[in-house]
Amino acid sequence: MPTPAVAYLTRTFRAEAGIVISASHNPFYDNGIKFFSIDGTKLPDAVEEAIEAEMEKEISCVDSAELGKASRIVDAADCGGLCKRCDLSHRAERAARTGANVIAIGCEPNGVNINAEVGATDVRALQARVLAEKADLGIAFDGDGDRVIMVDHEGNKVDGDQIMYIIAREGLRQGQLRGGAVGTLMSNMGLELALKQLGIPFARAKVGDRYVLEKMQEKGWRIGAENSGHVILLDKTTTGDGIVAGLQVLAAMARNHMSLHDLCKRHENVPADSG
């Protein structure tokens, strides 16, 4: 299950917390634990430090018989006496549900190949495949699905800055953008300049998606991102969600009848000073 799904379920089931065991965007041997609060957001540093301190102590476990089970019921009716026939054959891959012809790569996990030369941290294989297949675009997620990086039909990498620009621009066009957008100290100056041309305010947070979220909450804004591919859309999620962000870009392409390459044209990365 992707990390953003755990954040979503924690909130919708009103659970006390959500816990994910994942290497995230790292190699398999860096497996770790992520926590989510009752509202589906990552915990503050102070709370995580308190948890780490508790883990150093002796822990008493609860018997499994004492654990409850939660089920979500959206609506209910008494269907006693009815004959029910269910067709469950609609379970298809989410991207394919959009009507797209999807070619999947890097999706055969063996327990140790997570993020190994594939995914959001290394898009070279995706770039080569997009060009070979003459595909319209490529989408890469990291190991736990909270990051997304894209590739246009010319094989160019589209990072989190550019993805946020596309989504913010489309939100503005649709009249749905609230306030501005939050990046980080690592966000390219090209993003700030491109947003300024649209009249969209921009603020920078410390590096880290939790700090992006904190700045968004402080400003009352609904969109934030890191150039690494964490994109937070508070109208839809409480944490970075690569699938949701990728779908928003696809929607912008469809509504505007534009390629990913063309949607990025007004955002040009400014070369970083290597000195």
Residue 211 lies in a domain: no
Residue 138 lies in a domain: no
Residue 12 lies in a domain: yes
Residue 179 lies in a domain: no
Each residue's pLDDT, cut to its tens digit, for the chain (275 residues) gives: 889 899 999 988 888 899 998 888 888 888 888 889 999 988 888 888 898 888 888 877 777 777 776 666 655 544 443 433 333 333 335 555 556 788 888 888 888 888 888 889 999 999 999 999 999 999 999 988 999 999 999 999 999 999 999 999 999 999 999 999 999 999 999 999 999 999 999 999 999 999 999 999 999 999 999 999 999 999 999 999 999 999 999 999 999 999 999 999 878 788 766 54
Residue 225 lies in a domain: no
- Residue 133 is given by DSSP the state H
Residue 41 lies in a domain: yes
Look up residue 268 and give its two tokens.
Answer: 């040009």
Residue 50 lies in a domain: yes
- Domain count for the chain: 1
Find the catalytic residue in 24, 37, 187, 228: 24
Look up residue 152 and give its two tokens.
Answer: 């246009």
| Distance of alpha carbon 125 from alpha carbon 41, whole angstroms | 32
Residue 11 lies in a domain: yes
Q: Give residue 13's domain range.
A: 3-54
For this structure, is 24 an active site residue? yes
Q: Which helix (H) or strand (E) holds 174?
A: none
